[in-house]
Amino acid sequence: MTTIVVVRKNGQIAIAADSQTTFGDDQRLPAAYDVFHDKIFRLGDSYLSIAGSAAHDLVLQGALKGLKSRNLSSRSGLFETFRKIHPKLKDHFFLRPEEDEEDPYESSQMMVLVANGHGIFGVYPMREVYEFSRFWAIGSGRKFAMGAMHALYDSALDAKAIAEAAVRAGAEFDASSALPMSLYTVSIDEDSDK
């Protein structure tokens, strides 16, 4: 899978991701062999990255670009945006929304981290949306990344350095994550700073 992190600290937001693609349990595609190894994409003033099937990358980009209006700047805006694209994912991109029979809603089958000047957010498969105050990680290397961020957050390091250390920890210990990494930063909008 992957290691993807977001960090918010001292007026700066960072999003970072490893670059390895994994096929099943026994084959990987390292960055040196993949022209499009950057797992983070930009849409307007937001950066997004997806954990799950590699197919989600182009599908989500296409679905979001096809919306007449979208709002990635708040928890409620993200919820409405992902609610609007769910039917498109099924009808135009042939998403199979089944997971567990007892799930209360259809699944979008992806986890997405969003970073922009308004904050750091996570969108989960049933369109649950969280706004994180400090940091978060998704993907198979998330536990290693979360540990690194927890250990470093109160240090003198900035958001960029903490995000970099977190992805390095994921790449070091998770078999489905590898360097190099992609890393982007944005400044927090003064109106969004808490």
Q: Calculate the alpha carbon distances from 178 to 31, 112, 144, 150, 171 in Å.
A: 8, 19, 13, 21, 4
Q: In one letter, which amino acid is 124?
A: Y
Average of per-residue pLDDT across 153-167: 98
CA torsion sign for 157, 163, 168, 173 is positive
pLDDT bin (cut points 50, 70, 90) of residue 26 is confident
Residues in the chain: 194
At residue 77, the 3 state secondary structure works out as helix
Q: How far is CA 123 from CA 34, 108, 157, in A?
A: 26, 10, 27
Beta-strand pair 27-29/40-43: unpaired
% the chain with pLDDT above 70: 98
Q: What is the pLDDT of residue 98?
A: 86
DSSP class of residue 139?
S
Please say if the pLDDT value at position 194 is more than 80. Answer: no
Residue 193 has pLDDT above 60, yes or no: no
pLDDT at 114 over 90: yes
User: 10 pLDDT band (50/70/90 cuts)?
Assistant: very high
The amino acid at residue 67 is L
